[in-house]
A and B are shown apart, each in its own frame.
Chain A
Amino acid sequence: MKRILVSIKRVVDYNVRVRVKPDHTGVMTDGVKMSMNPFDEIALEEALRLKEQGFAEEVLVVSIGTADCQQQLRTALAMGADRAIHIQTDADIEPLTAAKVLLTLIDREQPMLAILGKQAIDDDCNQTGQMLAALWDRPQATFASKVEISGDTARVTREVDAGLETLEIDLPAVITTDLRLNEPRYVKLPDIMKAKKKPLDILELTSLGISINTQLKSVLFEPPAQRIKGVMLKNPQELVDALRRKGLV
């Protein structure tokens, strides 16, 4: 079966202004709204569109984390994914470990494509897709803003610093999504009901035989240096004068 694998991370919602805990041991996440990582939502939307266009038959979503991740997997199923796998763990998972976990699922499920968000908006790492592609020994097309499949290849337009770059890659491959790839659909109420009946398998991370020792330890969390609010000026003349005094124009 032609299958697309999409990974989903549960993160603090992008509208939440995250604050550091007073004791500097982390950020405050108690009672904070959690959502699907926005880039993963775009990844899922792309997979669903490819399926709707007839390039794939099944969209499989995977999430690694605590039992709460199942909420985001249910949302993904409501959006239109066919099947979900929850890899259960309470440990903090580094990108390299996440990539190893995804690889074991790839070995099992043999997807033609794995689509991941380019970064998660909590740790902002931007690593997992590239690491997965390396371990899988397959092509990667990161920061995608356009994906066109024809036969066993894909043409991917990438958002790079200099502009747009187009790569042709052989499938199977890993694609990571940028913001402008698509606009994710809204979930409709009947779909939420239907999603409850879709299969969601749970696997213990420890059953996969992957070691999860953290190699990078976050030992301290601090708020960023704050910029101080400056002065409000009355008119363009005052602005030009102020800039001139600082030698900026």
Chain B
Amino acid sequence: MNKILIVAEHNGSQLNPSTAKCVTCARGIPDASITVVVFASDPIEVAKAAATITGVSQVLTVTHLAHAHPIAALIAPQLATLAKEFTHIFGPSTTFGKDLMPRTAALLNAPQLSDIMLVESATRFKRPIYAGNAITTVEVAAEIQLVATVRTASFEAAPSNHNSAPIESVNSTASLPSHTRFIGTSAARNGRPDLQTAARVISGGRALGSAENFNILYSLADQLGAAIGASRAAVDAGYAPSDMQVGQTGKIISPELYMAFGISGAIQHLTGIKDARTIVAINKDADAPIFEIADFGLVGDLFQIIPELKLLLKTAQ
């Protein structure tokens, strides 16, 4: 019997879809029971949402004011205590999970498997290495407790159902360290869809040339209801905020439609979009590597093409 514990990711009121993707990953392990744990200052809404995910048999809540913002140094000791009786401890391969899970693994003296993309059995998994240039199959001995992050782009979110798993509040006995204090966040949410879950993503590269020029992408994105992404070169140059970066060291995404404008297609960028259903590349260089993986390519100047696309899409609607 495999007992899997999944750490819920949420923003205080809403469960992040990464949690339901971790559940899908966990359901790939045979003969398993799945528990989700929510650390929050007020976990009830999030816990209710987690309890309806198909495959979840129990939800645990740990309530503490200090969990208003997720701080790995505070959550890890409690997660490690709860994790003792579980065989697998999973979290999403988002910045939340990447920060928290290794800290937890070390407290458990357990190894961590990062970025599970495929489950073969309870002890055999696939994960990408070298920016996705190779896929390795990893085996772990059955008696070893395994901590892992789940590559969210590789799994669909498990659906919600009408049944609700029992929700149980657990008291946290661990004394929380005071050495790490949350100061603030600056989130550039602007009413657009979230890059990691959007069905359509419009991305811009160095070719945009300025933050101002990015506005033409925004207006195309708004017309399509798309989220905005960017290459590292565009982010480094200050044309777009860092949370828009797509790639090996940014976000790994799997939208239905990805449109890259003025992005050359460096391997580190392609790592982030390989799971997109349809990739469109617009680049003035016919030899740009991005065309090698694009389903549809168009050679030309993006500053001419975008206005034309906007017009064509308008008349089409």
Contacts and interface: CB of A to CB of B under 8 A. Distances in A.
Interface stretch (B33-41, B203-211, B286-294): B286-294
B141 interface: yes
A163 B129 CA distance: 26
Bin chain B's interface residue count: 35 or more
Contact of A127 (B95, B114, B243, B309): B114
A124 B100 CA distance: 16
SS of A interface (majority):
mixed
A8 interface: no
Given A121-B131, A166-B183, A167-B183, A216 B299 contact: no
B113 interface: yes
Contacts of A125: 112, 114
Interface string A80-123: 00000000000000111001000000000000000000110111
A248 B293 CA distance: 18
Contacts of B198: none
Bin chain A's interface residue count: 35 or more
Contact of B200 (A165, A235, A238, A248): A248
A173 B115 CA distance: 26
Interface string B110-132: 11111100000000000011111
B65 interface: no
Given A163-B185, A231-B296, A122 B278 contact: no
B267 interface: yes
B107 interface: yes
A160 B96 contact: yes
Interface string B242-270: 11000011010000110000000001100
A236 B136 contact: no
B111 A215 contact: yes
B134 A140 contact: no
A219 B139 contact: yes
A140 B103 contact: yes
A1 interface: no
B6 to A, nearest CB: 18
Interface in A214-249: 215-224, 227, 229-240, 242-244, 246, 248-249
Contact of B133 (A17, A99, A161): A17
B219 interface: no
A75 interface: no
A175 B80 CA distance: 22
A17 B267 contact: yes
Given A18-B133, A229-B291, A239 B180 contact: no
Q: Which of B112, B196, B316 counts the most A-chain CB atoms under 10 A from its CB?
A: B112
Interface stretch (B53-61, B71-79, B159-167): B71-79
Contacts of B141: 215
Contact of B292 (A14, A127, A173, A229): A229
B186 interface: yes
A180 B128 contact: no
A127 B112 contact: yes
Interface of A: 12, 14, 17-20, 27, 94-96, 99, 118-119, 121-135, 138-143, 145, 155, 158-170, 173, 178-180, 215-224, 227, 229-240, 242-244, 246, 248-249
10 contacts: A143-B95, A159-B243, A160-B185, A161-B94, A178-B249, A216-B140, A221-B134, A231-B297, A233-B296, A240-B313
Given A140-B73, A164-B187, A215-B140, 15 more contacts: A12-B130, A17-B133, A17-B267, A27-B133, A99-B106, A124-B129, A163-B242, A166-B182, A169-B181, A216-B113, A218-B136, A220-B137, A230-B295, A232-B291, A239-B296
Q: Which 6 A-B pairs have the closest CB atoms?
A: A230-B295, A130-B102, A163-B187, A134-B106, A131-B106, A127-B102
